[in-house]
Amino acid sequence: MNADLLARVRAEIDARIGALRPALEEYQELLDAAAKLENEAASQPKSEVTPVRRRGPRGSAAGALELAASGSRKRAAPRRQGTSKPESAPRGAAERAIVAALEHGSHTVGELVLVTALSGAEIRAGAKKLERAGAIGRTRREGRIAYALSVPAAD
């Protein structure tokens, strides 16, 4: 092959690696933080683990998140001993994770799956609730549907 072509391709690869390195480092930091939180939650007795509720001004993403999460307030039935189903996350956890991820910019469902460690079905269901509450909206990015935080209307 032509040495100039190989040198140009190698330079393009090096430039792309350099551009992606910060994203990879952020991804690794998020994984480490998630693991620490999971370890802390696992080490606490169940009675001490309580979901965190963010309260924000009316019309903010946090306020709309509460509206989306407050749809149903039924208590879950107590678990029977010996069941093999994994415990589910607290109500609204998926929506909080989605909003937290979208605070850094728009994301597709696939990107949200990577960033939040939720399943695609959980992302879609949470996004649907948040969309109905007006916290997020759909956009198009590179021909794909992406979600972004809604901008409150300026007075």
Question: pTM of the full predicted structure?
Answer: 0.44
Q: Which of 142, 94, 136, 102 is nearest to 118 (CA)?
A: 94
pLDDT tops 80 at residue 26:
yes
| 132 token code pair | 């109905």
Report the distance separating Cα 124 and Cα 133, nearest Å: 14
85-105 residue pLDDT tens: 556 667 788 888 899 889 888
Per residue in 28-62, pLDDT tens? 888 888 888 888 777 776 655 455 555 455 445 55
Query: Secondary structure of the chain: what % helix, strand, coil (to 5)?
Result: 55, 10, 35
DSSP 149: E
Q: What is the pLDDT of residues 103-143, one digit of tens each?
A: 888 899 998 999 888 888 999 999 999 999 888 998 888 88
Angle, alpha carbons 153-102-69 (nearest 5°): 80
d(CA 102, CA 94): 12
Helices and strands (H and E) in the chain: how many: 5, 2
